[in-house]
Chains A and B, each alone.
Chain A
Amino acid sequence: MSNIEIAQQDSKLHLIGLAHCGLFGISEDYEEAYLSLDQYMMKNRESTFFFRAKGDSMTPLIMEGDILVVDASLKVKSNQIAIVHLNGERLCKRILFHQEGIILVSENPRHKRIILNEGSELSLFGVVIGIARLFI
């Protein structure tokens, strides 16, 4: 639908003109917001935190300097990547729920897996739901 101007005169309606604006189907009715990366990468704005990756333990999946998008509201499932605190130290690891307990796995094979023993204190900060990386 395009602009229709209607003028009221002598209590009669006169159609003055019908103007086509641009291509068929292009009009304000179809205007939507820009696609938002915020919306795409944040399921829950209030529980999403960003971290910057440091070191090479998660390469090649996560490179040094990548922004980690972390949702603290999620419960971690086995094989997901998460930010955890192990004895007060913040780590980014793949979490495996194994029969013998929880194992923290690095993507980089040169880093050893960490098998939790009884004395270690582990708490979850949040699940890494994605990374953001700019090439330039």
Chain B
Amino acid sequence: MTNYILQLKDVVKKFGGVIALDGAQFQLKKGEVHALMGENGAGKSTFIKVITGIHKPDSGTILLDGKSVSFKSPLDSEKLGIAAIYQHVTAFPDLSVVENIFMGREITTKFHTYDWKAMRKRAKEIIAPLSDRIDVSKPMNTLSVAQQQLVEIAKALSREARILIMDEPTASLTKHECEELYKIVDRLRAQGVSIIFITHKFEDMYRVATRVTVLRDSKYIGTWDVDKISNHDLITAMVGRELDQMYPDKTSTIGEVVLEVKNISKEGYYKNVSFNAKKGEILALTGLVGAGRTEVCQSLFGILTPDSGEILLDKKLINIKSPIDALKMGIGLLPEDRQVQGLINELPIYQNVTAPVLNRFIKKGVLSVDDEMNKSIELCEKIQLKAKNIEETPASLSGGNQQKVVFAKLLNCDLRILILDEPTKGIDVGAKYSIYEIMNELASKGYAIIMVSSEMPEVLGMADRIVVMSSGRVTDSFSTKEATQERILEASLNKKLFEVRGE
């Protein structure tokens, strides 16, 4: 008999050629809270999805109570007592709390109708120890995020979960709500529930967990007792990789300030954000996912409008109301999701490149396809696009080359400021290098580049200056010379902020 309720041995999961989980090890004791930590993209999400049966591992074994198991769907893992509470609450927003708890496992009368009375009573019983402020007959969407999370916990408990996986449950909670959650976690542990607690925050780990496992670059790094590892060692475990020759040398000279952002705020997204971008410079905007970086960029591109604050272009106040305004002012955005927002997948490559400036190729009311082609060929050569035929659709290209098409499109517009939202996301290592080369070349041509990135090595390797955001605020900014991975991580997790938010 083993004293581990759940074990993972050498679990490997690949998506196509990308390895998402490379030999993961994990041991969960009965009735323990086990923290799982790692940077964005370290493989934590894949890790959970393998345990809950959403993804099937390519190799390795999962042992439940010492017996090897294989899940075909989330239903299989649920039957054996594994429940997950995902970061983005998966609920029925228009249905009541009661229905949210029981959907799929309704209590019915002998006439096969809902036994509302029994369900309401049971729901109240389950919710009561978690919170006394949730009205179970109210629709889910009238509840706060914290309360919705409690309902998800209640749902898991109603299904008699023995293993509860919580994916960054404190990510959007205030300090007070976190405290409430910790108490609940303590109580569940006392009842014998084993909990995997995924988090970015050290205070979460210290407060609830007894052991911690760290993943990095899809690999298992180690497991420690929480009271036996220092803060510094843990950070080193999370980020400790060497920067190798993954980044090309920079050649650009940095000029004057082109864009200045002064104290912009948008309720619910970000607050008092200030920074500037200089000609020929790559500015990195970093922090954890959900820190408000994307929203700030969307505000510079006219997708969102800030509630207050100023944006200055060449020291002149500007008002960006729409993406069309932004483009006219010379601000371009390379969106995070190139498949959806960056490319028109049904059109050939050359038409993708010329789409934003189609008017230029119109002569006497007729579109000149020759001119369009010539311009596209010129641009595609400039960015060294590897394509068999630019009359094919972008779907035929690799991720890196697709991204180059989006770059070519941006180059076609007369821009001065480029906002790149996760420019190398989902691109393999080799192709990343050529994207970095393009970025450097653009910088040396005098573009001001604002790069949003969650990957720390990329930030340190590419940027001239770094602005770190956390929970909607700028928590630190410094030149790359002064930067260390630890400093960035500390600013991303900025503790002072939680005190502000906890009010």
A, B from the same assembly: no
- Interface residues in chain B, defined as those with a beta carbon under 8 Å from any beta carbon in chain A: none
- Interface residues in chain A, defined as those with a beta carbon under 8 Å from any beta carbon in chain B: none
